Structure 1
Amino acid sequence: MTDNAGVIRADDARPLARLAASAKSVTAQRRATRIMFFTLGFGTASWAPLVPYAKARLGLDNHSLGLMLLCLGFGSLLAMPVAGALANRFGCRAVLVCLSIVLACALPVLSVASSLPLMVTALFAFGAALGAYGVTVNIQAIAVERASGRPVMSGFHAHYSIGGILGAAGMVGLLGLGTPVLAAALCAGCILVIALPIAGPNLLSDKGETGGTLFAMPKGIVTLIGLLCFVTFLAEGAMLDWGAVFLSSTDGMTASTAGLGYTVFATAMSAGRLSGDAIVARLGRIKLVMGGGCCAGLGFIITTIAPTWPLALVGFAIIGAGCANVAPSLFSIVGRQTRMPESDAMSAVSTFGYGGILVGPALIGFVAAATSLHIAFLGLACALGLVAVCARYLPR
């Protein structure tokens, strides 16, 4: 309020000061949330270059390595349903700080473990920390987006993608320069720890009124959100696990260059997420989910029918652009539904989504073995089309 001369009256000064302080606080919370998404992507990707070293150190064949890597997935699947209750009981800040320390400690152990029991234990703990971290940081993101009063979720997930790219590139660069594996893993762990005093003070410390459900199961509309997340992450997992196989077996690319497909996909996804918040502000999340599902489905069709690999790569880029903002939008919509508490709903939806990454590639393999990889990819196009159709029933 101002007087006729445009001067702020004394009785209104303190409310305006509180408003300015609140805006500053929300800005700091957004910055802290971006940092935590970045460190999640960085920590996750830092493990990937260590896998060949673990395989050689333990003398594993491909089958044994695949079974060992399931421990990471099982750890995540078991931790996700309880992560919401932990965040509700102790606050996002306490949970994220503890999980960051677990990740930072697990990476060096994974880099030097020479016995299978120790590797399995460390991998399970690493996977559990990643799963619980993903749920908790998205609970944090929902609250910060609500306080911001504008879309910011896609930008948060963009920082996860950027962290993943830099984490993998950084580890590959260090190892390529001859850095000992343990030293490279310690460097990655240090970055996770260094981020804590920067972001930690501005993470949310509020606790819920109740302890939350210990093992969250989806109910009502949350089940639909979870299923849509399952399909979306299934498509992303297909690009990661089957993209190079598809390009090398059907489009004539060499095995050494077929990995370019996932690079194109990941780059398009990162670019899409960086621009996603502006698109959400213009179109809304429901339309974005519908358009993203259609776009990703079209990308799979183009990839499948492409006569040459350059055109197939165009399809990979379209898939990445389409998938980019579907999952962030679905996570944001979790905060709009009223069927379940947010923390429980996020745990349930995240479990569904990660299930798509974990189980999906195997399902694609079964379909490909029974028919062909082309049919499997066309099936994904149809599933993504259903995502677009079902999005109309999401909370507005």
Structure 2
Amino acid sequence: MPIPPDPRAARLAIRLVFLANGAVLAGWAPLVPLAKARLGLDEGQLGLVLLALGAGAILAMPLAGMLIARHGSRAVSIAAGLAFAALLPLLALAPDSPALGAPLLALALFAFGAANGLMDVAMNAQAVAVEAKGTRPIMSSIHGIFSIGGLLGAVSVSLLLRAGLSPVAAALALGMAAMALLAAQARALLPRAEDRPGDGHGFALPRGPVLAFGLLCFIMLLAEGSMIDWSAVYLVQQRGMEVALAGLGFGAFSVAMAAARLSGDALNARLGPVRLLRGGALLAALGLAVVVVLPQAWGALLGFVLVGLGIGNAVPLLFSAAGRLPGVAPGTAIAAVATLGYAGLLAGPALIGFAARLTSLPVALAGVALLVLAVAAWAGIARNEAGR
């Protein structure tokens, strides 16, 4: 007779899977300025290369549902996670020649993004199954732990670079640690039989009110993507920070986002979704303004903290409001909003690169601030469209 799954062990295991995912994704942030300098890329060329990461993830996400249906979210989470971690060192291996190195880096980023896309869908499907086994919600705290993983990954690679390790060695160390952590969770995650029917198996195009939620989600995740791929470049290029320390920018953003998410449920109960979403968007826009205006590196770090605090709860609030839309199945609405949202996270950094090439990186980030202000202006949709 098979041993029934332990919900407590599964809750811990899925938290550690999210931690590993955040660490590996953030481990790329300190490597971005090194790749830019080694390959001699300008902002536009770097943005084009970074587009490969988003393309890989977006193309892989529709496949995740089919793989989950066949193999279960546990198997896909672990297999994709191991591939995701194993691919991180390849991002530091591209040859110095831009003609050869840039295409090879783009290819590696495409595979890296595809593995992350598969892992992202699968681990969220697993989290839904784990949450259904308990008596209290866990999604907010799990996404907070992802942000903690981002802090650990960015700081770890930065410190390893500071200690004199090569980019390949630093990425390999983080990748191996993540692989070990993921492999250790395989038995504790819920098996395929526990997956909730329909979770992550479908795809829906956003339309009507769902489209409005999706566009707001696109903007907030574009702002998050700008921190992942451009914070370190900004600190080095615009504020003169040492390359080995530049990952601290994304680290500061990540710890602030984690704090916002871990306190989000209590703030929502006290303030309500509209005020929390509007206040967060205003705080994020202020943070981006601080990054652009203050000339010191510490000012940029302060701005990154404000951005993290501001956007931390935006996506959970938008998902929740979309799931309450009258006449629309919650799963269908949330899936459609997530499609547009992740497009902002994954493709947004490339758009920022193109804008920076036409103007400058500070001007491009100022443009993101204006978009975030639009979210503050339309925050009432979290109440009005949901009938609250």
TM-score where L is the length of structure 1: 0.75
Q: Equivalent of 1:107, from 88, 94, 98?
A: 88
Aligned ranges for residues 101-250 of structure 1 at < 5 Å?
Answer: 101-114=82-95, 116=101, 118-204=104-190, 205=192, 206-207=194-195, 216-218=204-206, 222-238=210-226
- Is the Cα contact below 8 Å between 1:29 and 1:202 reproduced in 2? yes
Paired residue for 1:383? 374
Instruction: Give 1:5's aligned residue.
Output: none
1:197/1:366 Cα in 2 relative to 1: closer, same or farther (>3 Å)? closer
**Is the partner of 1:179 in helix, strand or coil?**
coil
Is 1:73 the counterpart of 2:54? The answer is yes
Q: In structure 1, how many angstroms separate the alpha carbons of the residues matched to 2:75 and 2:128?
A: 17
Q: Which sits farther off after the overlay, 125-134 or 329-338?
A: 329-338
Q: How many residues align?
A: 367
Establish whether residue 42 from structure 1 lines up as the match of residue 42 from structure 2: no
1:173-216 per-residue CA deviation (whole Å, 9 max, x = no partner) reads: 22222234433333222222212343222323245657976654
- Give the Å deviation of 1:248: 11
Please report how far the alpha carbon of residue 255 of structure 1 lies from its aligned counterpart in structure 2 after TM superposition: 3.7
Contact 2:82 2:182 in 1 (8 A): no
- Return closer, same or farther for 1:110/1:264 CA change in 2, 3 Å cut-off: closer
Report if aligned partners of 2:52, 2:106 keep a CA contact under 8 Å in 1. yes
CA distance in 2, matches of 1:278, 1:105: 38
Give me the whole-angstrom Cα distance separating, in 1, the residues matched to 2:67 and 2:206: 17
User: 1:8 maps to what in 2?
Assistant: none
- Superposed CA offset, 1:52-80 (max 9, x none): 454566x4422443322221121112122
Matched with 1:18 is none
Instruction: Flag the 1:321–1:176 CA change in 2: closer, same or farther, 3 A.
Output: closer
Aligned match for 2:311, one of 319, 323, 328: 323
Deviation at 1:28, TM superposition (A): 1.9
Query: What percent identity do the matched residue pairs reach?
Result: 41
Q: 1:350 to 1:107 in 2, by over 3 A?
A: same
Q: C-alpha distance in 2, partners of 1:246/1:118?
A: 24
What one-letter code is carried by the residue in structure 2 that aligns with 1:300?
A
Per-residue displacement from partner, 1:220-260 (whole Å, max 9, x unpaired)?
A: 664444233212213334555677999999xxx84439977
> Given the alignment, which residue of 289, 294, 309 partners 2:279?
294
Corresponding residue number in structure 2 for 1:275: 263
Match of 1:202, SS state, is coil
Gaps of 5+ in 2: none
The structure that has the greater radius of gyration is 1
Structure 2: how far apart are the matches of 1:262 and 1:29? 29
CA shift, 1:269, in A, is 1.7
Name the amino acid aligned to 1:294. Answer: G
Contact conserved, 1:135 with 1:346, CA < 8 A, in 2?
no
Q: Is the 8 A contact 2:287 2:303 kept in 1?
A: yes
Pairing 1:326-337 to 2, within 5 Å after superposition: 326-331=314-319
Write the letter of the residue equivalent to 1:122: A
Say whether the 8 Å CA contact 2:232–2:250 is kept in structure 1: yes
Q: Secondary structure at the match of 1:48?
A: coil
Could you tell me how far apart the structure 2 residues matched to 1:203 and 1:276 are?
26
SS of the residue 1:294 aligns to? helix
Amino acid at match of 2:52: C
- Decide whether the 8 Å contact of 1:296 with 1:320 is kept in 2: no
Q: In structure 2, what is the Cα distance between the partners aligned to 1:40 and 1:162? A: 10
8 Å CA contact 2:231, 2:250 repeated in 1: yes
Partner amino acid for 1:179? L
SS of 2:130's equivalent in the other structure is helix
| Structure 1 residues 83 and 335: alpha-carbon distance in aligned structure 2, compared to 1, 3 A threshold | farther
Q: What does the per-residue CA deviation read over 1:264-304, in whole Å, with 9 as the maximum and x for residues that have no partner?
A: 54432221122224445x349xx235413333225525864
Name which of 41, 57, 68 aligns with 1:61. 41
